[in-house]
């Protein structure tokens, strides 16, 4: 019998966008999902206390969180507010609000694009902003993961797009509560990724997976094992580098004629777990 994949199987709530937050809690438990990546966008401010109580009662661990506002600088998806101070304040508020229900979780953030194309100047603000967020995170028993995004999102959502860049900036921040979110869809074309994961896994706080095709929309990811991402290689590289955190399925699939959101979402969750086990066993 093949050994089980050594990472906790988690699902990001964007993967099941058509389901409500309450459905996610119920169905994930039924489907054997071992942890949830909480997406604050799915929470209703008018019912927040009740929803968070239901989360606690579900017994489903929160391994990671996508705060409602994730980019330090205004981005295409999240253009408001414009000021860095207010954006940091909103991210801090998300940490303070959700950390009690997500002990030890990783909060994912992105840089956003550099205002006026001044990446060098903007990164200084990213470093100082992440230090401030790190203090809040440490005070609340959680961590921050900086996520480099695919180059197709450069100047729209990000100013960093390789694993080595993320390492450089995490080291510049210099705080134990700040690490890297490695999303295979975003980074699989980085030729340094596998070697970088093997050489220095310590700053990797989170691993997200899906598969690739040339996008038909801004949200066009596919199931693990159905595209060219070398998932088997990357899972083993992360493990060899010391990563022992969750493996989070994160799929976006909208504005395409064959949207995965229109199919059987329960089957999507089951099939991807099987695909990840196959990948761990060395299959493409």
- pLDDT tens across 250-272, in order? 999 999 999 999 999 999 999 99
Phi/psi zone of residue 32: left (φ > 0), alpha (ψ -120 to 50 degrees), beta?
left
Kindly state the DSSP code that residue 36 receives in the 8-state scheme: E
Query: Strands 62-66 and 9-12, how do they pair?
Result: unpaired
Dist. CA 40–CA 55, nearest whole Å:
12
Does residue 121 form part of some domain? Answer: yes
The CATH number of residue 160's host domain is 3.20.20.150
Does residue 3 form part of some domain? Answer: no
- Cα distances from 50 to residues 17, 41, 53, 98, in angstroms, run 20, 16, 5, 13
48-58 and 21-30 helices, crossing angle to 10°: 0
Query: What confidence score (pLDDT) does residue 3 get?
Result: 83
Q: What is the pLDDT of residues 87-100, one digit of tens each?
A: 999 999 999 999 99
Q: What one-character-per-residue DSSP string does 133-199 give?
A: HHHHHHHTT-EEEE----GGGBTTTBS--SHHHHHHHHHHHT-TTEEEEEEHHHHTT-TTHHHHHHH
Average pLDDT of the chain, as a whole number: 97
Does residue 54 form part of some domain? Answer: yes
Does residue 2 form part of some domain? Answer: no
Q: What are phi and psi of 14, to 5 degrees?
A: -65, -25
Does residue 98 form part of some domain? Answer: yes
Provide the whole-model pTM.
Answer: 0.97
Q: What is the pLDDT of residues 218-245, one digit of tens each?
A: 999 999 999 999 999 999 999 999 999 9
Kindly state the DSSP code that residue 276 receives in the 8-state scheme: H
Dist. CA 99–CA 145, nearest whole Å:
14
For residue 215, with 0-12 CB atoms within 10 Å meaning exposed, 13-18 middle and 19 or more buried, which class applies?
middle
Q: Please state which of the ranges 40-54, 120-134, 195-209 shows the lowest mean pLDDT.
A: 195-209
Q: Which residue has the tokens 């450089």?
A: 168
Domain limits at 110?
Answer: 9-280
- Contact indicator for 63, 105 with CB cutoff of 8 Å: yes
Dist. CA 36–CA 14, nearest whole Å:
11
Cis peptide bond N-terminal to 81, omega within 30: yes
Does residue 136 form part of some domain? Answer: yes
What's the structural domain count of the chain?
1
Does residue 238 form part of some domain? Answer: yes
Does residue 87 form part of some domain? Answer: yes
């Amino acid at each position: 019998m093949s050994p089980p994949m050594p990472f906790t199987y988690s699902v990001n709530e964007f993967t099941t966008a058509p389901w409500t937050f309450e459905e996610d809690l119920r169905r994930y438990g039924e489907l054997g999902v071992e942890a949830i990546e909480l997406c604050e966008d799915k929470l209703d401010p008018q019912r927040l206390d009740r929803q968070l109580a239901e989360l606690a009662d579900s017994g489903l661990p929160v391994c990671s969180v996508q705060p409602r506002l994730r980019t330090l600088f205004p981005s295409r998806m999240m253009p408001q507010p414009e000021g860095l101070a207010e954006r940091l304040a909103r991210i801090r508020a998300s940490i303070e609000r959700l950390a009690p229900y997500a002990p030890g979780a990783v909060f994912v953030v992105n840089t956003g694009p550099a205002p006026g194309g001044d990446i060098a100047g903007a990164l200084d603000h990213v470093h100082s902003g992440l230090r401030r967020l790190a203090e809040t995170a440490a005070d609340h028993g959680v961590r921050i993961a900086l996520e480099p995004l695919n180059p197709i999102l450069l100047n729209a959502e990000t100013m960093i797009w390789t694993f080595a860049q993320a390492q450089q900036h995490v080291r510049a921040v210099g705080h134990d509560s700040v690490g890297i979110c490695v999303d295979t869809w975003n980074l699989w074309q980085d030729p340094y990724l596998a070697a970088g994961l093997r050489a220095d896994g310590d700053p990797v706080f989170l691993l997200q997976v899906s598969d690739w095709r040339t996008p038909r929309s801004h949200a066009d990811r596919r199931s693990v094992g159905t595209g060219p991402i070398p998932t088997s290689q990357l899972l083993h590289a992360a493990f060899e580098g010391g990563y022992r955190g969750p493996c989070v399925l994160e799929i976006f699939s909208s504005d395409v004629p064959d949207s995965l959101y229109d199919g059987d979402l329960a089957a999507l969750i089951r099939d991807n777990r099987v695909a990840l086990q196959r990948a761990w066993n060395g299959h493409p």
